[in-house]
Amino acid sequence: MRPQNVWNIVFRFARRHRLAAVGGAIAVVFLLLALLAPWLAPHDPSKIAMGNALRPPGSEFPLGTDHLGRDLLSRIIYGARISLSISCAAVAISMSIGVFLGLLAGWSRRLDMPIMRMMDVLLCFPGIITALTIIAVLGIGSINIVIAIAIAQVPQFARVARSLTLSVKENAYVEAAVSIGAKAQRILGRHILPNIFAPLLVQLTLLIPAGIMTIASLSFLGLGVRPPTAEWGSMLQGSLQWARLAPHVMIFPGLALMLVVFAFNTLGDGLRAALDPRLRSK
């Protein structure tokens, strides 16, 4: 696809779904902050300077400092890198596994029952409970958080992929491929997966903020990213006792978390409205 055509699609989407476009712009800003954190952060996010403790927003520290004198703006920028990298890695893993299982369940009647019953068992527990259980077993650490979130989100991708596969495999082109003896792997990879990718993309954008909230919740409880690493949940937890004396230490990390969740949720809603023909016709 030519770059000009891509920009035309983006502009058309932004014109029809303005709130989603705003969310997408905010999401892009946070992604750029995460990628360019070493160059954009004005200070070392872990440098302690007790002489600057709890300074309000000003020219030297635009968002103020925390109780250890660390620059809040720098910590929020690096926090975006931690939260988005862990969430995106976890969602990518869960999407790969969940879509694979969903395709198998939707295509094979023999595998449908055991796969989906296993997914139902995982869905019986809230995602945060599943993540807490896995962290309790594996221990605290970024890799274990990725594993915990990925396992918790696999059933959601699997159920979406299964339902879409059941619908698409009834189409004439799939039946034609079966009739000429095409292998199941080829049918799933060439005919079914490309036609169910759009709804899966919407699911992806909606589960990234869920992953970020899970990371923040685990860190707030002391089971996520360990200090002094900058992460929004741990920053909120550390700001509790100073919130009345210096409200900015809680407001700005909470605002960053709220904005990124709002951005991906509104972007996901807009993509769903744009890609779903039933919603597009209304």
Which tokens is 231 given?
A: 């992460």
How many residues belong to the chain? 282
CA atoms within 13 A on the CB side of 101: 23
Percentage of the chain exceeding pLDDT 70: 95
For residue 41, what are the contacts with CB-CB under 8 A and spacing of at least 6? 71, 73, 74, 77, 78
Q: What is the DSSP letter of 276?
A: -
Position 180 scores a pLDDT of: 86
Alpha helices in the chain (DSSP H): 3-16, 18-35, 37-40, 72-107, 109-123, 127-138, 142-168, 172-179, 184-187, 193-220, 232-239, 248-275, 277-280
Q: Is residue 105 predicted with pLDDT exceeding 90? A: yes
Place of tokens 């020219």: 59
Position 5 scores a pLDDT of: 66
In 3-state terms, what secondary structure has residue 272?
A: helix
Position 161 scores a pLDDT of: 95
Q: Is residue 12 part of a domain?
A: yes
Q: Residues 30-40: what's their mean pLDDT?
A: 94
Q: Is residue 56 part of a domain?
A: no
Q: Is residue 125 predicted with pLDDT exceeding 80? A: yes
Q: Is residue 1 predicted with pLDDT exceeding 80? A: no
Q: Residues 85-98: what's their mean pLDDT?
A: 95
pLDDT tens for each residue of 47-81 = 999 998 999 999 899 999 999 999 999 999 999 99
Task: Tell me how far apart the alpha carbons of residues 150 and 89 are, in angstroms, rounded to a whole number.
Answer: 8
Q: Is residue 158 part of a domain?
A: yes
Q: Is residue 59 part of a domain?
A: no
pLDDT tens for each residue of 233-276 = 999 998 888 888 999 999 999 999 999 999 999 999 998 888 76
Q: Is residue 94 part of a domain?
A: yes
Domain that holds residue 254: 3-37+80-280
pLDDT tens for each residue of 218-235 = 999 888 888 788 999 999
Backbone angles phi, psi at 239, to 5 degrees: -90, -5
b/e burial code for range 21-48 (CB count within 10 A of at least 16 → b): bbbbebbeebbebbeebeeebebebeee
Q: Is residue 24 part of a domain?
A: yes
Mean of per-residue pLDDT scores for the chain:
89
Q: Is residue 47 part of a domain?
A: no
Q: Is residue 190 part of a domain?
A: yes
The CATH code of the domain that includes 257 is 1.10.3720.10
Task: Tell me how far apart the alpha carbons of residues 73 and 76 are, in angstroms, rounded to a whole number.
Answer: 5
Position 221 scores a pLDDT of: 87
Comparing C-alpha atoms, which of 158, 153, 154, 165 is closest to residue 193? 165
Number of domains in the chain: 1
Are 267 and 20 in contact by the 8 Å Cβ rule? The answer is: yes
